[in-house]
Structure 1
Amino acid sequence: MAKAKLNFKDIDVTVTVPVGVRVIEISDKIGSGIVYGCREGDCGTCLMKVEDGWENLSSTSVIEDKVLRENAAGRHYRLACQAQVLGDVSVSPA
């Protein structure tokens, strides 16, 4: 199984994760400041900033695009409940 490094800037922790895991799954386990109110991509509370490795996350879904627009999220912001890790990436709470 392919692995990638996922770094949480807010707590200065890097973990090795299986490719395809959603950021929120790991954030929840290690106590990062990325909060959430759902896991379905329609509330926007898990908004995170992608510090490095933007290209190493899955493409945004239609629902995620809608929520990002509604929250006026900038270019390097994603929903942790939707973003799947495909390679090395660094994130922080929005």
Structure 2
Amino acid sequence: MPKANVTFEKLGLTVTVPAGTRLIEISEKIGAGITYGCREGECGTCLVCIASGMQNMSERSVLEDRVLQENMAASNQRLACQAQVLGGDISVKA
């Protein structure tokens, strides 16, 4: 199974996780402290900035895209509860 290396810049910590893991799950396991409300992709609370490696993330779902647009999110922002890592290296400003 493919793996991804995810770096949480504020913690200065890189972890290797299986492809398909959502950012919120990684945050919870390592204590990165990403705040969330619903875990369903509806509230927008878990908005994070992907510093690098966006090409290694899952595509935005219709729901995530709608919430990001409603929150006027930048192109490098994702919802941690929806965004899955696919492999490679990813750096998160969280």
What is the alpha-carbon distance in structure 2 between the residues aligned to residue 12 and residue 33 of structure 1?
Answer: 13
Matches within 5 A, 1:47-58: 47-58=47-58
Aligned to 2:64: 64
What is the alpha-carbon distance in structure 2 between the residues aligned to residue 86 and residue 27 of structure 1?
Answer: 16
What is the alpha-carbon distance in structure 2 between the residues aligned to residue 11 and residue 39 of structure 1?
Answer: 22
Q: Deviations over 1:10-46 (max 9, x none)?
A: 1111000000100100101111132111211000000
For normalisation by structure 2, the TM-score amounts to: 0.94
Asked if residue 90 in structure 1 is aligned to residue 91 in structure 2, the reply is yes
**Runs of 5+ unmatched residues, structure 2:** none
What is the alpha-carbon distance in structure 2 between the residues aligned to residue 49 and residue 34 of structure 1?
Answer: 11
Aligned residues: 93
Percent identical:
60
What is the alpha-carbon distance in structure 2 between the residues aligned to residue 33 and residue 52 of structure 1?
Answer: 19
What is the alpha-carbon distance in structure 1 between the residues aligned to residue 4 and residue 61 of structure 2?
Answer: 21
**Runs of 5+ unmatched residues, structure 1:** none
What is the alpha-carbon distance in structure 1 between the residues aligned to residue 56 and residue 44 of structure 2?
Answer: 21
Q: Deviations over 1:22-73 (max 9, x none)?
A: 0100101111132111211000000000000010000000100110011110
* Kept in 2: contact 1:8–1:92 (CA 8 A): yes
Q: Write out the 4+ residue segments of structure 1 that deviate beyond 4 Å after TM superposition.
A: none
Deviation at 1:5, TM superposition (A): 0.2
